Amino acid sequence: MNPVRLADVIATLDAAYPPALAESWDSVGLVCGDPDDTVTTVTIAVDPTAAVVDEAIDAGADLLLVHHPLLLRGVDTVGAHTPKGALVHKLIKTGCALFTAHTNADSADPGVSDALAAALGLTVTGPIDPHPTENLDKWVVLVPAGDADTVRRALFDAGAGHIGNYRDCSWSVTGQGQFLPTDGANPTLGAVGALERVEESRVEVIAPRGIRQNVLAAMRAAHPYEEVAFDVFEMATFPGPRGLGRVGELPDPLSLRDFTDRVADALPATTWGVRAAGDPEATIRTVAVCGGSGDSYLDAVSRLGVDAYVTADLRHHPADEHLRAGGPALIDVAHWASEQPWCDQAKGVLDTAFGHTPDWQVRVSAVRTDPWSVSASPS
């Protein structure tokens, strides 16, 4: 059995959490490590803190997979005299790679908010802020019936004809085409000055808009005609299953008081704790969740008409104004706690892909990287 290379793990992670989903300001992917190195042991954590790095190295990890980037903003040094540079040096010296899946994991399907929703017992119905479906073209190509398979194959080989888990998808109908070659033409069929009628196939395929030039070149190369009759239609997009946040339903309604208890029981304990805003006896059936800082979606969840919104890092004034405007009840949890369930989700992704490999081991970090360490109540 071939060993698992870091490149294989990266490919699996990129398929689960596509880098293209990352926000423009984000930094995701491989931070340090050789893609040709072998991986057998992985540690997963929310944050690449010094304690997490030490834990991963002590466990013999070949890869540390984290949610939050170590190097998010531009730096001009990773010297060992700097806190972050010291961690990079330590990882490299011990042969442990570092890989980040941040906002791409937030928007993936499933992603960070799906893990949070699952921890709370919600049945997910969609994102708070859905990404549109992929930009697609529909190609319509008219080709002599006897050459239709050749042109169709060329379109497929250029990347057209994929629908979900299906490939080589097309639709065809046969009709009669006609043309009259004029002076200067070099017709494949017929003669200059004579009207030609041909049995032709109308071949339809879809293709990502980003490969339009490749599809065009493949079609022209495979088509027997000097002048090709074709149409390209830009297809409409629709809200897709990917995007930030999730909306879900509880199996049974709960009061806000009881639902807050459920949230506290479902997530790892933190000094921050769990707090709610709203009528304690209000009935909660539908819930929006957003792992990490989610107060930018207060207006969005109000428009969705959910009963409660679970997120982290809520601020006083936005929360107060939201409730004054009649928005749903709010449940505020620690940032780290809201994203920690993702670690088990990512473990499942890797174990599904490589769990059959001898000596393969993935562990979720036991280090609590929530920065708050002390709380106090009035005496």
pLDDT tens digits along 221-230: 999 999 999 9
Specify if 378 maps to a domain.
Answer: no
* Residue 73 sits in the same domain as residue 26: yes
| All residues at 6 or more sequence positions from 97 whose CB lies less than 8 Å from its CB, including other chains | 6, 30, 31, 32, 33, 34, 37, 39, 62, 63, 64, 91
- Does pLDDT of 331 surpass 90? yes
What CA–CA distance (Å, rounded) separates 314 from 292?
Answer: 10
Contacts of 227 (CB under 8 A, 6+ apart): none
What amino acid is encoded at 170 in this protein? S
Residues 94 and 123 in one domain: no
Whether 144 and 224 map to the same domain: the answer is yes
Residue 369 resides in a domain: no
145 and 82 in a single domain? The answer is no
Domain that holds residue 247: 112-131+242-333
Q: What average pLDDT does this structure show over 327-344?
A: 98
Helix, coil or strand: residue 188 = coil
Both 250 and 328 in one domain: the answer is yes
**Domain end marker among 205, 236, 267:** 236
Statement: residue 44 has pLDDT above 90:
yes
CATH number at residue 147: 3.30.70.120
Q: Is residue 370 part of a domain?
A: no
pLDDT tens digits along 155-178: 999 999 999 899 999 999 999 999
Tokens 């790095």 found at: 53
Q: Are residues 143 and 230 in the same domain?
A: yes
Domain boundary among 216, 236, 256: 236
Same domain, 143 and 199: yes
Of 83, 52, 79, 85, the residue nearest 67 (C-alpha): 52
| Listed residue (30, 66, 71, 68) closest to 45, CA to CA | 66
Binding residue numbers for a divalent metal cation: 67-68, 106, 335, 339
**CA distances to 67, 126, 228, 236, 244 from 241, in Å:** 21, 6, 37, 16, 10
Residue 376 resides in a domain: no
Residue range 274-299, pLDDT digits in tens:
999 999 999 999 999 999 999 999 99
For residue 79, is it within any domain? yes
Residues 6+ apart with CB under 8 A from 248: 117, 120, 122, 123, 124, 125, 286, 287, 288, 289
CA distance 311 to 131: 20
**Whether the predicted pLDDT of 75 surpasses 90:** no
The verdict on residue 371 lying in a domain is: no
CA distance 162 to 127: 24
Q: pLDDT > 90: what percent of the chain?
A: 94
| Co-location of 126 and 269 in the same domain | yes
What is the pLDDT at residue 123? 98
Q: Into how many domains does the chain fold?
A: 3
Q: What is the pLDDT of residues 180-215, one digit of tens each?
A: 999 999 999 999 999 999 999 999 999 999 999 999
Task: Please indicate, yes or no, whether residues 256 and 329 belong to a single structural domain of this protein.
Answer: yes
Average pLDDT for the chain: 96
Say if 184 falls within a structural domain: yes
Q: Which of 177, 202, 236 is the last residue of a domain?
A: 236
Domain contains 72: yes
Q: Say what the pTM is.
A: 0.85
d(CA 13, CA 311): 25
Assign residue 346 the CATH number of its domain.
3.40.1390.30
Residues 227 and 160 reside in one and the same domain = yes
On whether both 120 and 264 belong to a single domain, the answer is yes
State residue 154's pLDDT score. Answer: 98
* Most distant CA pair in the chain, distance: 102
160 and 119, same structural domain? no
Residues forming the annotated binding site? 67-68, 106, 335, 339
